[in-house]
């Protein structure tokens, strides 16, 4: 069967997008999804996203990691899916959609900047040298020295597979403070099992964690990721973070067909 796909990227986080409103895609075929995401034997992507019908919102987001398994929320993937929905004329400039972590609202500007509302966060676990929180996906956040030369893959894998998080594991973010309003980060993503050029839920986690541990009092924070720049904003009431938005570019790369 020939399948039409679209390729999108958000700050270097890239995704295979498929319009599955007719429910044709074999969603349980993890080997197929893994092959489509393979950078040598397939299309190549950090993940695959299906756009599906939903009875109460504009569409449903179904996200798979590059290993072929369905996964938790992907922030940059969500932003790219909004751009894809606009390209398909499913939406105009504003949308509400459902994902694995619940309801999301988003807007898309003429310059392809997508602002995506993330889930509220009120459970932040602070430890001596790291912070753990869930922003739709679980994230370990840790300040490190010399981020530029840090071995993200080796150290990230050690934490992801270590005793801290057990079998489910966690995404792992290593962070450098640039100034009160700006942080740089590099992320090891579970499911990809490598460093990615960006991680939207990771950037969101870093912004909230840095505020929660007192590294900044700002509520509108710039995040430098390997693939570009993202902005995370939120309202803070006590230890509760609400109106959380992830903002950045979501760009169409190419479309094609592939035999499955």
- Token pair, residue 80, equals 């790219």
Is position 199 annotated as part of the catalytic site? yes
Residue of 54, 92, 59 whose CA lies nearest to 78: 59
Helices (H), 50-151: 75-87
Could you say which of 37, 49, 114, 199 is catalytic? 199
Give the list of residues 6+ apart from residue 84 with CB closer than 8 angstroms, or none. Answer: 6, 8, 17, 49, 51, 252
Helices (H), 88-237: 152-160, 200-212
d(CA 86, CA 94): 9
Residue whose tokens read 């950045």? 248
Secondary structure of residue 148 in the 3-state scheme = helix
Residue 28, sorted as left (phi over 0), alpha (psi -120 to 50) or beta, turns out to be alpha
Residue ranges at the known binding site: 13, 65, 75-76, 171, 189-190, 200-201
Residue ranges at the known binding site for substrate: 13, 65, 75-76, 171, 189-190, 200-201
Residue of 124, 116, 106 whose CA lies nearest to 211: 124
Could you say which of 3, 48, 74, 207 is catalytic? 74
Is position 37 annotated as part of the catalytic site? no
Bridge partners of 252? 8
Return the active site residues: 74, 199
């Amino acid at each position: 069967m020939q399948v039409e796909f679209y390729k999108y990227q958000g700050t270097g986080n890239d995704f295979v997008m498929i319009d599955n409103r007719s429910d044709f895609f074999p969603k349980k075929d993890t080997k197929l999804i893994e092959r489509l995401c393979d950078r040598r034997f397939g299309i190549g992507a950090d993940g695959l996203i299906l756009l599906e019908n939903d009875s109460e919102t504009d569409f449903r987001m179904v996200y798979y990691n590059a290993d072929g398994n369905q996964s938790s929320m992907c922030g940059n993937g969500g932003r790219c899916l909004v751009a894809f929905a606009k390209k398909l004329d499913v939406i105009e400039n504003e949308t509400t959609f459902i994902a694995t972590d619940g309801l999301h609202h988003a807007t898309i500007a003429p310059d392809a900047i997508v602002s995506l509302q993330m889930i509220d966060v009120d459970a932040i676990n602070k430890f001596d040298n790291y912070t753990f929180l869930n922003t739709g996906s679980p994230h370990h956040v840790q300040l490190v020295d010399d981020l530029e030369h840090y071995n993200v893959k080796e150290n990230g894998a050690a934490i992801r597979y270590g005793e801290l998080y057990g079998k489910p594991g966690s995404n792992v973010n290593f962070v450098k403070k640039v100034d009160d309003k700006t942080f740089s980060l590099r992320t090891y993503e579970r499911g990809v099992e490598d460093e990615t050029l960006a991680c939207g839920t990771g950037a969101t986690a870093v912004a909230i964690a840095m505020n929660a541990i007192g590294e900044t009092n700002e509520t509108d924070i710039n995040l430098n990721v390997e693939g570009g720049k993202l902005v995370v904003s939120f309202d803070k009431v006590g230890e509760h973070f609400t109106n959380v938005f992830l903002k950045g570019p979501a760009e169409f790369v190419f479309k094609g067909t592939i035999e499955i």
